[in-house]
Each structure stands twice: as C-alpha cells, then as structure tokens.
Structure 1
Amino acid sequence: MILASPQARPALTDLDALPFDFASVRAALADGADPVALALEAHRRAAAVAGDSVFTALVPEGTVRARAEEAAARARAGDALPLLGLTFAVKDNIHVAGMTTTSNCPVLALDPGAGSPLIGVLERAGAVLIGKNTMDQFATGLNGTRSPEPLCRNAVNPAYIPGGSSSGSAVAVARDVVSFSLGSDTGGSGRVPAACNGVVGLKPTLGLVSTQGLVYNSRFLDCVPVFTKRVADAAEILRAIAGFDPVDPWSRRDADAIDLTSTPPDAGARIAVPRRDQLRFFGDAAAEAAHDANLGTLRALGFDLVEIDFATFEEAGRLVFQSALVAERLVDYGEVFANRPEGVHPAVRASIEPGLAYSARDAFEAIYRMRELARAAEIALAGFAALVTPTVPTIFTIDELLAEPMARNTVMGTYTYYVNPMNLCAASVPGARRADGLPSAISVVGLAAADGRIIGLAERFEKRLTEAG
C-alpha cells in the first residue's frame, strides 16, 4: 500500500514518498520537482499495484512520458496549465482513444475510436492519464466483487470490500497512485467506493458533465463523478470538466451557467436528516456511532438538523434495480448477454436479467413515477440547505459480501440509490474514524444545480474534522 502523510514534505529526490493530493504535488512543483518525473512516478506506482486489480490497463510508460514532456514544454512556453503535475485514471467504462474499453468484462472489448471529450479537457489543462480502473462488471454493483479475479480490495483494510462499481477509481486515489480519478455513478458508484476507502466522491447534477464516451448503465441516471483526497480538489476538477456539450443529448443547456463556486450555507441553516427510526445500520454499531459523531460535527458548525420522512427517498431508490428501469441495461449490454453469457459475472447476470421480464408499459410507468418522485424531492427539501445521510450503512468484508452477494449489495445502496432518480447532486466526504479503524462518511445531498452549496457544506465539514484532529 502506498500511503504517506500529506504534512510530510519529502525531498525532491524522494518522489516515491510524495502524497499525490493536489497541495502536495503543487508544493513539490514549487520546490522544483519535474512534472515528467511526477507522471512517471505515478506510472511506477500503478505498475506496482498491477496484481491488486486496481487497474484493467495502463497507458504505456513511453506515452505517459511523452504527454508529460509535452505538458512541461507548454508550461515553460507560458501556457496556463492549472493541472500541471497531476495524474489521473478513469473507470474502464469511459472511452480512451487507443485503449480497449471492457467495463471489466473482457469479452466486451470495445474499440472506441475517439475517447471521451473529458480526457482531452484534462490533458489540455496539464494532467496526465495513467490508466483505466477496474470496476464491478458493466457498472452493475456497489461492492467491487463483481469482477474477474483477483478482486480489488479496500485501501484501508484489504479484508473489506472496496465498494463499487467504481472500485479501482476510489482505491487508486486512496492508495496515492494518482491525484484524482473519474468514475461513473448510476445508483451510488461515485459515492459508495469513496466512503469505503476514505476519500471524497463528488457526484454532479445530472447533465452538468458530458457523458459522451461513456458505456451507459442508464442514460436517464448516469453521470461522471470525481474522486480525490480533498473536497476542494474534487471541486476544481468538476469545474474543469463541467459544461454544456452539444453532442451529448443528455447535457443540460444551462450547464455553463450553474455556479460551482464553493458557497457554504450560513450557520443556523436548516439541514434535513432522515428520521431516527428510519436510519438503518444493519447491526453495525461502529457505523452508527460514527454517524452520530458526524451529526455532532454539523451541530457544532451551528447547523439546525431537522428530521424528515425518508420513505419517499427510499421508494425512489428502489426504482434503480427493482423496476423496469433495469431493462435499460440491456441496451448497451444485451448483445453480450445473448451471445457471450459465459463472460458475464453471475451476480451481474442475476441483477440485469430481470429486465427481460418487463413490458414497455412497465417502463413508461417507472419513468412517470421517477418524475413524480423528483418533484417530491423538490417539495421535501424546500427551505433546507441540504439533506445529510450516511453514505453507506456498513462496510462488509469480502467474505461476508460473497456469502450473500445480492442482498448485501442492495444494503450498500441504502443511502445512495435515490439520488439520481430524484435528480439530486451529492458529495460523499470522509467523516469520523470508526472505532474499528474503518472510515465513515456522510453524503451531502442537494437539489439539481445546487452543486456549489453542496461543495461548500462538504468543505466546512471536512475543515472542522481536520481542525479537530
């Protein structure tokens, strides 16, 4: 495991000890570190974890060197490269030109031709792509075990699940292999693995970031989240990649006008929380105690926590995998299911095959209900700065998850499934350390286009925890 304290400033000749959070990388650059050496160090770290299933594929070392040299030359020539020295990875359902897209199902093996436009945006800003991250196959799962062996493991304790489906994207950041990563999020895949590995997962408003070049789970629900060590770092990347994309039919026309400036609510602002009798931790006393501590931190910041009925949000969450919406998965993956079923993970097949039984009428009814529940969220959250829940109710060991792969995967989405069907934005931010040493996290959730306020509240929470030690 590659870990280091963000406070430790290593000698420039000791890049293997450098933390890759944004502040540490930029401090090293200010001290004279070579951005090419930083990119090659990230590639070395990625190669070193090759046996841990954090990546499905790496960009060749020579290509990494060439791209880093090009960025460094542009910076010397006076170009503004705000992401110079930073390295990143992307989930293996995001197309990268010249690399095969597998969605962690080798028999899929798509040649994308052109890559996602997000890659170009980040590279033009000076960041260097290192590789593609492992994931629950077809982005179907919230645990990280629905993939070929060897399994990706939790960065804090390898006996535990890394969360999914963007498992490798979160672990690559948590283990200091890259500075940031991009994933995909349908029902929590950008927040659950962030929570399980103690990093930030920022899930934007639907349509704020282009999904062009993404192998979809759901065109209605998919978005591209950002994983980083700090909230401000995730917000910086979101500001870089957000914006209207005329080629993407799901892109919001007002994407460029959405304010992504960190705007924390004032002390005394009302924050919605689920009624206490509706909070579920599935017997995990350490998770419950950590969440109580996290709520205490919000109260110490001066916020007024108000309990609301969570039942409508739970109903919205059930739409993701317990309605005709699941049939949409067959649009992108149906050919593999029909013609190469041997390459599909059994748990993924069990999750998606029920889609074959739904009628077109069922699908329309599910879409109608989704719109009704999105309006219900607007009404329920009116007058609140945010809704705050745990991000995950518990963290299972890998053995526990494999013993009950379907039911326990559903448990992981208890507090995340509802967000996209209700057209909400969210950030998962690390909270108090649990008594057993595992991370906890809260989800700060807001209405569509409230990303700046969600970022600001998450930053205030993060700062208070940092100050408290």
Structure 2
Amino acid sequence: MSAITPTARVTAAYARIAEVDRPEVWITLRAQDALAAEAVELERRVAAGADLPLAGLLVAVKDNVDVAGMPTTAACPEFAYEATETAAAVQRLVTAGALVLGKTNLDQFATGLVGTRSPYGAVRNAFYPELISGGSSSGSAVAVALGIVDLAIGTDTAGSGRVPAALHGIVGIKATLGVIPTHGVVPACADYDAVTVFATDLELAVTAAKVMTDTDSRDPRSRDWPADVRLAPSTEPSLAIPRSEDLEPLSAPYRAAFTETVAALRDQGLRITEVDISPLLDAARLLYDGAIVAQRYAAVGEFVDKGVPGLDPTVAAIISAAKELSAPAYAQDLDYLATARTTATALLADFDGLLLPTTTEHPSIAEVEADPLAINRRLGTYTNFCNLLDLAAVAVPGKPTAQGLPFGVTVVVPAFADQIAVDLAARITGTPPPLFVETGVPLAVFGAHLRNQPLHWQLEQLGARFADEITTTDAYRLTALDTTPPKPGLVRHGDGQGAPIRGELFLISPAGLGRFLAELPPPMALTSIDLSDGRRVVGFACTYDAAVAATDITDFRGWVAYLQAR
C-alpha cells in the first residue's frame, strides 16, 4: 500500500505530469476530479477495514488493453472504440485498490520494440529524450520511470514488456503465457500475447503480477499453475549464459555491462555456464520473418487494409505483407517451433535459469527513423523467442554502462517456473525474493529433511521453498529412530505432555506432497501438526509403536540440537 493517502497520491501524480511535460506518454488521461473522487471513496473503504493490498497505488494501462468507459485505440485513432468492460487483469488490480490514471501510448497495434510507431507521437526516453523509450509498451514504461504512476500495464509478444524496462532501469515481468489472462486485450499474435507489468522494484511488480494471475473463462488460452509447480531454485543456483559468439549482436557498452553483471553474480557464488543459444535465436526470427506474423494479419489485417490516415506506415506494411503468407508455410513454422521448444527444454534442464541481456543497444529516435526495421529487429534478438517457445521471463536492471546508461538483463525459465525466475532476479537486484506463486502446501519437517541434513535434497528436487523456522505446541515428544539415515520421530502425546519442538516449514507443490506421501518409508507418516503460533499444517511424524521403541530426545527440543550434543 502507498505510504501516502490515495488523494495525496492522485494530487502528486497530476503535479508530476505537469512538471515533466511529456504529453506523448498519454493517449487518454482521466480528469483529476473524477480520479480524486475515486480516491476519497477508496480511503473510506480502507478506513472501514477493506482488504485492499494495492490501495492508493496508481496504474497506467497500455492503450491496447480495455478499461470500461475509456476509448481503446491501439494507437490508431480510426480504430478507437469505447470499452464496455475492463480487461480481466486490470480489473483485478482495481479490485485490489489500484486507481487507473489513464491509457498510454504504444507502437501501433503493439507492433514494434522502439516506441516511435504512433500517430500520437514518438515516446521519448524518460531520462534521455533524444533516445528511444523502447516499445511497444513505451508510454507505460515511461510513466513508471518518471514516477507518475506506481505500476503500469503493458503487453508482450516480442519483448514489449521487457525492452522498455531495460531502457529505463525498471522491472518488467512477463509471466508464463496464460497465467495472466489476455481477456480485454487487442490481439497482436493471439497465441503469443501476454499482459505484463512494470514497476520500479521487484517486490511491487511481483505483488501486482500475483494479483492479476488466475484463470478466466473469457480467455480460452488462460492457464493455471500446474500441480507440480516448482517453488524455489536450487540451494546453489546455476545460471546459463550465452557463449561469446551469441553475444555478438550486443553494442560494445552493453557487452561490457553484461560481463560486469555476470561477474557480480559469480562473486555471489552462483554457478554460471556458457551454453549455445543459437537454436533460440533462430526460433526468434520466426516471429516477424516467418509465417507466424500471419497472426498479426488475423488480428487487425482487415482494418489495416482500409488504409485509414492514422496508420503508421511501418506497422501497416508489416501487417499487410502477412496477408500473402501461405497456410503450408504457417504449418511448417509451427512444426519448427514444436522442435525448438523441445530443444529449449533440453537446454534449460540442467540450470535454474538462462540469463540474457534484455536487448542489444540503446538507439536514438533519429537512428530509428533512419532505419526503422533493422534496428527494431536487433532489439528483439534476445526477446522474440520467449513466447514462441513458451518461456517465462523477468527483466531487471543490470550494471549500468560505462556511460551511465541503464542496462537490463532478463532471467528466462521454462513455463510455470516463474517463481524461480523471480528468486534469481532478486539475486541480481540484491533484494529479498518475493513470493509470486502461492499454490504451495505448507509442510513441516523436523529431521533429515531440514536444510543441511542428508535428505534435504528430496525437497530441493521437488522445488520446495523454505518458508519459516517453526516450533510445535507442547503436545509433542521427539525420539531418535534407528533408521538409515538417522531420523527423529515426532509423536503427539497431548497438550502439556511434551515440549515445543523446533523444525522448518516449506512450501511444496500439491503433486510434490503427494509424491512424498507415496514414497514415505515406514515408520514415517504425514499428519496434522499444531504449531505454537496457532497454525495447523501437514508435517512429518512417526508411528506410535516406533516412537515407544526409540530413544526419547524431547529435552533437546529439536533434531539439530540433539545431533550437536552428540
């Protein structure tokens, strides 16, 4: 929740808009008095005890995403329509207390990574006005970077939720396709579109993404977290990075900044290995140079064919050309992508994630105007393949260039490994890792599965996440069982008939918990455990007959203390 009141936050936002004087950021800006009235009502709800995790935060929405009562233009005036329903992802933010400030400029029909392809004006970089902002979610990223809003919604098909983040030193989250529904979004390539979020810090970006995440029946492509979702990286995380030849597209300043960012992670103890990412880079070319671009024509091609005055010529040429692509070529590209996904899965199997430079360079607006296609294509070198191959990504600032320009890196992971990407991104930003995926089941452990104990690897293998150090109520007794490896046995005797026993709490996927139960050797069992803080969780115990036959070690109040005493 914002540190200032919602009404004060609204006042500050409009003052900041006047101060920075960046009219090209906005396509539709809401009237201050209307938003102020919403802020007053929000304060009343908070005072009445409403649970609003985003209360008072301001959000900007990319103008290819619907907000009820506001026009959606996709940066083409003649395309505009007034939305009657708010996009599912945005509505979830509003329900959580966020206030929509306005609709932001973009590369027309979300086609581009430069932020200059709009009749509403080229969106200048927040800090270096002669440089591009990056697109297509240009206005959204700049609104965050300038401090006008706390959060901004973008979309990402080719990298539009990541490239603008990199060029402004902010965070961009592109979750696994479908976990944030695209209901209410003007499609670009419907199978590969994602709703994304920008914020200045990882924790806030994750909070917003978490609020937006859930299935929606109105989006046939929406997906839920699977039952075996991984909730944490390895204890000693490993990162793949591109080999030297795969980094050749980088400008010299970006190459140096990437090297410095990687070196800092090595100093933290992360295991880093160079790999051949050329299969991913080859797949990336299909998004614009292959038949997949036919999806852009399917989305808005008939409208573009009308040749209305507000069309950006570069965008119109890309979309119109896709009309000539053949169905066999499209089928052939889909087959190629199926193979490429298998290759990507194998490539990432031995690592927690893949670390990439988010983009290749930071061109000026003048350079893009002189060479709009080639520069745009280069900017998507390390982003275009992500959605095609069903990968998730978190973009965060890396080390700045020697010239002081922002430089960004992206953690790429397989589908549904979003929490691992967030944790690795937190290592890069030097901040505590926020919880994104909340489907885990709490599991209490008291012995060989504790951290640094011989069976902890079983939890790590299932992607379990350490949550807390815990103690039971005084109803439990602890024994040392005669097993290999040695384990304690926890048994409930009744209130006041034991002692508080120390353990650890992990979050584990539902399927992981089921696997644990199915493979549990005797005399171990899973049962309800009462914790000293009032929670009741699933935890390890043992059968009563095994405990009776074992050595009572309750006085040690925990397995580790017993081992240390021995």
Please report the TM-score for the alignment, with normalisation by the length of structure 2: 0.74
Mapped partners of 2:81, 2:19: distance in 1: 26
1:155 pairs with one of 119, 122, 126: 126
Match of residue 65 from structure 1: 36
Aligned residue type for 1:368: D
Q: Which has more radius of gyration?
A: 2
2:319 pairs with one of 335, 338, 352: 352
Mapped partners of 2:317, 2:307: distance in 1: 15
| Greater Cα shift, 205-214 or 318-327 | 318-327
Match of residue 266 from structure 1: 235
Mapped partners of 1:439, 1:356: distance in 2: 38
Q: Displacement, 1:112?
A: 2.2
Contact conserved, 1:242 with 1:255, CA < 8 A, in 2? no
Match of residue 394 from structure 1: 361
Mapped partners of 1:370, 1:198: distance in 2: 32
Contact conserved, 2:189 with 2:299, CA < 8 A, in 1? no
Q: 1:332 to 1:44 in 2, by over 3 A?
A: farther
Is 1:426 aligned with 2:360? no
* TM-superposition CA deviations, 1:185-235 (whole Å, max 9, x none): 001000000001111111000011010000010111000111001111111
Mapped partners of 2:225, 2:307: distance in 1: 39
| Greater Cα shift, 123-132 or 456-465 | 456-465
* TM-superposition CA deviations, 1:17-36 (whole Å, max 9, x none): xxxxx7xx33xxxxxx4321
Q: Displacement, 1:259?
A: 6.0
Is 1:212 aligned with 2:183? yes
Match of residue 309 from structure 1: 276
Q: Displacement, 1:256?
A: 7.9
Is 1:88 aligned with 2:55? no
Mapped partners of 1:259, 1:180: distance in 2: 27
| Greater Cα shift, 71-80 or 328-337 | 328-337
Mapped partners of 1:305, 1:386: distance in 2: 10
Contact conserved, 1:281 with 1:287, CA < 8 A, in 2? no
Aligned residue type for 1:279: L
Q: Displacement, 1:346?
A: 1.2
Is 1:367 aligned with 2:338? no
Q: Displacement, 1:150?
A: 3.2
Is 1:404 aligned with 2:371? yes
2:287 pairs with one of 301, 311, 320: 320
Q: Displacement, 1:294?
A: 0.5
Contact conserved, 1:46 with 1:55, CA < 8 A, in 2? no
Q: Displacement, 1:246?
A: 1.7
Q: How does 1:284-295 map to 2 (within 5 A)?
A: 284-295=251-262
Q: 1:190 to 1:356 in 2, by over 3 A?
A: same
SS state at 2:17 partner: helix
Mapped partners of 1:322, 1:107: distance in 2: 28
SS state at 2:190 partner: coil
Mapped partners of 1:159, 1:303: distance in 2: 37
Q: 1:110 to 1:367 in 2, by over 3 A?
A: farther
CA RMSD in angstroms, aligned pairs only: 1.8
Match of residue 99 from structure 1: 70
Mapped partners of 1:366, 1:101: distance in 2: 32
Match of residue 451 from structure 1: 418
1:414 pairs with one of 381, 395, 412: 381
Match of residue 427 from structure 2: 460
Aligned residue type for 2:310: G
Aligned residue type for 1:137: Q
Gaps of 5+ in 1: 1-21, 27-32
Match of residue 340 from structure 1: 307
Q: 1:257 to 1:92 in 2, by over 3 A?
A: farther
Contact conserved, 2:246 with 2:277, CA < 8 A, in 1? yes
Contact conserved, 1:207 with 1:255, CA < 8 A, in 2? no
Contact conserved, 1:264 with 1:460, CA < 8 A, in 2? no
Q: Displacement, 1:161?
A: 0.5
* TM-superposition CA deviations, 1:361-413 (whole Å, max 9, x none): 11122222222211211111102100001001111011111111100110100
| Greater Cα shift, 302-311 or 338-347 | 338-347
Is 1:236 aligned with 2:207? yes
Gaps of 5+ in 2: 433-566
Match of residue 175 from structure 1: 146
Mapped partners of 1:119, 1:306: distance in 2: 39
Q: Displacement, 1:258?
A: 8.2
Q: 1:86 to 1:371 in 2, by over 3 A?
A: same
1:280 pairs with one of 244, 248, 262: 248
Mapped partners of 1:397, 1:257: distance in 2: 46
Does 1 or 2 have the higher relative contact order (CA < 8 Å, sep 6+)? 1
Aligned residue type for 2:285: R
Match of residue 223 from structure 1: 194
Match of residue 435 from structure 1: 402
* TM-superposition CA deviations, 1:214-266 (whole Å, max 9, x none): 001011100011100111111111111101112210001x24868696x4543
Q: Identity of counterpart residues, as a percentage?
A: 38
Mapped partners of 2:248, 2:228: distance in 1: 34
What is the total number of aligned residue pairs between the two structures?
A: 432
Mapped partners of 2:296, 2:127: distance in 1: 32
Mapped partners of 2:18, 2:228: distance in 1: 39
Q: Displacement, 1:281?
A: 3.8
Contact conserved, 1:425 with 1:449, CA < 8 A, in 2? yes
Q: Which runs of 4+ in 1 moved over 3 A?
A: 46-52, 255-261
Q: Displacement, 1:331?
A: 2.1
| Greater Cα shift, 45-54 or 222-231 | 45-54
Hey, which of these two has a bigger chunk of strand by percent? 2
